[in-house]
Structure 1
Amino acid sequence: MLNKESRPDGMIQVLPSLFGALSPTGVLLGAVLFAMSLTPSMVPRGPEIQGALGGLVFAIGYLISYLARSVLRWLGLRPIFRPSPALLHATYALALVICGFGLWMGADWQNSIRKAWDLPELDGFATTFVVALALVVAVLLLFAGRLFELLAAKWHLRSARFLPPRVARGVGLLLALVIFWAVIDGIAFRLALRTIDTTSRIADLVIPPDLAPPSDAATPGSPASLIAWEDLGRWGRGYVISGPDRDDIAAFWNAAARQPIRVYVGLTASGSAEDRAKLAFDELMRVGGFERKYLVIATPTGSGWLDPGAMDTLEYMTRGDVATVAIQYSYLSSPMSVIVDPENGIAESHALFDLIYRHWTALPAAERPRLYLHGLSLGAFLSQETVPLLNVFGDPFQGALWTGSPFLSEMWRMVQDRRDPDSPAWRPKFGNGSLIRTTNQFGGLERFDATWGPIRLVFLQYGSDPIVFFDYSLAWRRPDWLRSNRAPDLGPDMRWLPLVTMLQVGFDMAVAVGTLGYGHDYAARHYIPAWAETLDPAGWTPEIEARLVAHLRDLTPR
C-alpha cells in the first residue's frame, strides 16, 4: 500500500513504501556482487562470515543501483522504455543464475586457499546456511535503506513548505542522515561497544580459583611486588607465571642459565598511563631488569596478550639473561581496537619508553643491557609510533622485532612504498638492509649484502595476513601484492575485484587468527630466525636454530 501526502502546491506526492517491490536492476547488481564475494580472498572463510559478507555486498549493489537512478531523476532524465513483465522476470532469473553459480563454485574457491595453507579440503559449502544468513542481512539493510528513504522524503515535504524544491530535498536528505547517524553511532554502535568493553573488562578481572599468586619475590604479583596480583589482568597473570624457567633453558643449552624476568602492569593498576608506566619502571628496577644482558620493551596486542611464540623463543635464545616489560592499555582485541581507537595505548608506550631510555642512556655503556623493542599486531604499530628515531641516533637502542604490523603503520607503509622495485610488496627489500629488513615464513633476511648499522629493525609478516595488507584503496586499485609475484601462502585463485576485495579483506581481519603459521597467527618457528637476526646472539648457528625450532615445535598460543 502506497503512502500519500499533500505537497504545498496541492499535488499529491507518493511516499516511498517500506515493503514495495524491489528494483530488478538493483537485484541484478546485488547478485553480481554477491557472487563476487564468494570468490577466494586472503583467509579461508566459514559460512557465518561468508553469509554476512554476502548479504552486505548484495545490499551495497542494490544501493549503487538506487543512487544511480536517483541521480538520473535529479538530472531530469527518464527511462527510455518501461521494461515488460517478461524482461523483469528474466532479470530476476539471471540474478538467481549468477548467485547459483557463485554458490556452486564456493567450495572450490575456498579450497584453493585451504590448499595453500595445508588445510584439509571442504566436503561442502553449507550453501543453505550461507544463503539464509545473507538473506537476513540483506533484508535488514534494505529495510533500513527504505526507512531512510521514507524519512528523507517526509522531511523534504515539510521543508518544501518554505524552501525551494531542490533545497528542501537537500535538507530532507541531510536531516535523515543526521538522525540515522545519531541512532547508529550514538545508540547502536556505542551500546555494542560498551557491551563488548564491559564483557572484556569482567573477563579480565576474573581470577580462576586454581591460579594462585606467585611466591617468587622477583615475579610481579608476589607479596614482595609493587604490583598486586589482581592488577595484572587476565593476560598479565598468565604471562608472568608462564614461559620457560632457568631449568628448562639450562636443559636445552646443557649449560647454566638465568631465570628470565617478566614485568607486566595491568590496566587496573593505576588510573593514568603515566602512573602505569612509572609502576612498570619501578618494578623493573626492583627485580634488577637493568642488570640483564638484554632488555626488551614489549607492547602487547589490544587486549594485553603477549605471544608465547615470541616471548618463549626470546628467553631460550638469550639463555634467560633477559628482562621484558609490558603495559596493558586496553581490554579489546586488536581488530576491535583498530576500529574503535587505534591510537589508544600511545601514551603508555611513550611514557614507558621515555622512562626506560632516559635511565638506560645514563648508565655506563659497558654495563647497561642491550635494549630492544617488540610488538605484535596493534602492539607493533604502537611500538613504532613510540620510537623517535631521529632523537636516538646519538645513543641508539640496539633494535626491534615488529610482527604483523597493521595497515595503520606509517613505517610499514613507508617500507612497502619505498622498497626495491625488484622485491615484492609482501616481503619488501628496503634500501641496502643496514637499518631495516623484512622476513616471513619463507625467509628473506639473507637477501642483503650490506652489514647491519647500529640499529637492527626487523619486520616479520605473513603474505596472507589481512591485518597487514588491508587498505581502503583496495576498493578502487589492485594492490602490488596481488600481482604476478605473490606470496606462496596467498591462494592462487584470489583476484582483485573493485570494492568487493576491500570488503573481503576487511572481513578477513576478523578471522585471521586460528591457523598457526598463516594469516595473523604467527608461529614460534618463524619468530626464531627473526629474533636471531635482531639480537645477533653470540655463537648462534643454523644447527642451534634448527634444534630450537624442533624443541618448540609444539608451542601454541595460550
Structure 2
Amino acid sequence: MTSHRYAQWLRDSAFGSLPHPAISIAVTLGYLAALYPGTLPRDTTITAVLTTVFSALGACTGRVLARRSRGRPEEQARRIVFGSCLVILGSAVGMAVWWQNLIRSAVDVAPAGVGWCAAATLPAAVVVVAIVAVPRTAAVVAAGALALTAGLLAPADAGADEQRLPVSSSAQHDPGTLLRGELRVGEFDAAAADLARSWTASGGLSARAVVVAVPTGSGWVDSAAVDGFGSRFAGDVRVLTLPYDQVPSWQAFVSDRSGSAESAIAVVSAVATVLDSVPEHERPRVILYGQSLGAVGADAARVWLENEHPSLLDETVLVAPPAGTVALLSRTPRTVLANSSDPVVRWSFAELWRPHGATGDTHVRGPRVPDAPWLPVISFVQTSVDLLGALDGAAGVGHRYGPEQAGPPHPLRN
C-alpha cells in the first residue's frame, strides 16, 4: 500500500479523524453522570458497569446528534472539543477517587486503588471506541452482554430476609423474648388473636413492656433489635410479630404494602383488647417497632392506636422507613432512625425532581459520610445504584442497623 493510498484509507476509516464534537460532549456528560457520588463505597464491578453503560449511552446519543447535524466540523474544532473533554474526564476520575476514599474512610473500608481507577476508565473507553468505530458489531456484542447481565443481576433477597417461616403453629417462641404468630394471609385478625393468647400465656402481662414488631416482607425481624429491647428492659419484655407474606421485602414493597399495615393493626387491636381489662398502672409499656417495610406497617398501627386507643401507646420506633412512606408528624412519641449512608430512606421516584426530605423526628445515626448536592435524575440514579450494596456493610452503614433500634437516644420513661 503506497503512502498516498494509506493516507486516503486513514481519512476514510473510522479512525481517520477525531470524533464529532457531539459525540465527545455526550460521552463526557454520560461519564460524569456515572461518576457522580452516592453515599456508599462502590466496588470495581459496579463502577465498571455504571461508567460503561452511561458512556455507551452518551456515545450512542452523540452519534445520533452528529448524523442530524448540518455540515462537517473542522478538524481543529474536533481537536479542541476532544482535548477539553479529555481534561474534564481526567479531572473527574481524580475527583471520583478522592470522594470515594472520603466515603471509604468514613465507613472503615480500604481506599480505592489502581484497580478501581482501571475499572472506572478502561471498559468505558473500549466500549466507546467500539461504538464510534464499529457500531454494528458493538450493537451485537452489547445485546449479548445485556442479556447476560440481566440474568446475573436479578434482584436478590435482602440479606436478612432469607429467613424462612414456619406456617403450621400458632406462635413460635424464640428463647426469652420473641413470639411469632402464624402466617395466615387474609386472616390477620384470627392469627393476631392467637398470638395475643400466646403472649398472655407466656406471662406477658406482668412484663415491663410489650413490643409489637412489624416484620419485613418475608417475616424477618432484626435480631439486633430484639437483643436491644431485651437489654433495654433487662429481659423483662415480650416482642410480638405477625408475618404477612413470604416474599422478600422489596417484592412486597413493590407489589402490595397493605399486608404490612393490616397485620400490624390486627396485632395492636388484639393487644388493646387484652389490655382494656387491665388496670392502667399494671399494664406493660406498649411499643411499636418496624424496620424498612415493617416501619410502614408500624406507623399505620400508630395512627390506628392514636385514633382508637390514644392512651395505650407509649412510643413508636421506626427504623429506615422507605422515603415518603410514613407520616411527617405524630401525635404520640415517635423516633425515626436512619443511617447517614442508607439509600433506602432516600429512594423514591420523587427524587427524580426534588431532594428527599426527612421527617422532623428523624435521628441520623452511623458514620457520617459526605453528601453530594442533589441533582435532578442523576441523584435518583446514584441512590438506586447504592441500593445494590446497601446490605454489604457493618451495623451503622447502609441499610444495616444494630441494638440502637431498641429505642430513642433518651428513653421516654423507665
| In 2, Cα distance between equivalents of 1:282 and 1:26 | 69
- Say whether 1:292 aligns with 2:289: no
Which position in structure 2 is the counterpart of 1:441? Answer: none
The answer to whether 1:262 aligns with 2:139 is no
Name which of 238, 249, 252 aligns with 1:323.
238
Matches within 5 A, 1:49-448: 49-58=46-55, 61=58, 79-84=69-74, 87=77, 95=85, 97-131=87-121, 204-205=163-164, 226-227=170-171, 240-241=174-175, 260-265=176-181, 269-274=183-188, 275-335=190-250, 337-387=252-302, 388=304, 390-392=306-308, 394-411=310-327, 414-415=328-329
Find the residue that maps to 1:409 and give its secondary structure: coil
Q: Given the two structures, how large is their TM-score scaled by the length of structure 1?
A: 0.56
The Cα shift of 1:104 comes to 3.6
Distance 1:264 1:498 in 2: 43
Aligned residue pair count: 373
Match of 1:461, SS state, is strand
- 1:257-305, CA deviations, whole angstroms, 9 ceiling, x for partnerless residues? xxx4310136xx4454525434433432432333322111001233333
**Maintained 8 Å contact 1:273/1:351:** no
Superposed CA offset, 1:11-30 (max 9, x none)? xxxxxxxxxxx986255324
> Would the aligned equivalents of 2:215 and 2:241 in 1 still touch at CA under 8 Å?
yes
Corresponding position: 1:498 with 2:414: no
Contact 1:116–1:488 (8 Å) recurs in 2: no
Q: CA deviation at 1:504?
A: 0.9
TM-score after normalising by structure 2: 0.72
Deviation at 1:503, TM superposition (A): 1.0
Structure 2 CA distance for partners of 1:192 and 1:527, relative to 1, 3 Å: closer
Task: Return 5+ residue gaps in structure 2 as ranges.
Answer: 1-18, 141-146, 359-363
Distance of aligned partners of 1:332 and 1:287 in 2 relative to their CA distance in 1, 3 Å threshold? same
The superposition leaves residues 383-434 of structure 1 with CA deviations (integer Å, 9 ceiling, x where unpaired) of 11233255135433111111222203231xx25xxxxxxxxxxxxxxxxxxx
* 1:246 corresponding residue in structure 2: none
Q: 1:94 to 1:389 in 2, by over 3 A?
A: farther
Q: What code does the residue aligned with 1:404 have?
A: A
What is the deviation of 1:84?
Answer: 4.5
Distance 1:55 1:28 in 2: 16
C-alpha distance in structure 1 between counterparts of 2:165 and 2:299, whole Å: 32
The percentage of counterpart residues that share the same residue type is: 24
Does the C-alpha gap of structure 1 residues 467 and 206 become closer, same or farther in structure 2, counting only changes over 3 Å?
A: closer
2:394 aligned to 515, 529, 543, which one?
515
CA RMSD of aligned residues (A): 4.3
Q: Describe the shift of the 1:509–1:469 C-alpha distance in structure 2 as closer, same or farther (beyond 3 A).
A: same
> Paired residue for 2:336?
459
> CA 1:273–1:34 in structure 2 vs 1: closer, same or farther (change >3 Å)?
farther
CA separation in 2, counterparts of 1:369 and 1:392? Answer: 18
**Secondary structure in 2 matching 1:372:** strand
Aligned CA distance change for structure 1 residues 65 and 129 (closer, same or farther; 3 Å): closer
Amino acid at match of 1:370: R
| Cα offset, 1:333, TM superposition | 4.2
**Residues 480 and 297 (structure 1), Cα distance of their counterparts in 2 relative to 1, 3 Å cut:** closer
Q: Which amino acid aligns with 1:519?
A: G
8 Å CA contact retained: 2:337, 2:365:
no
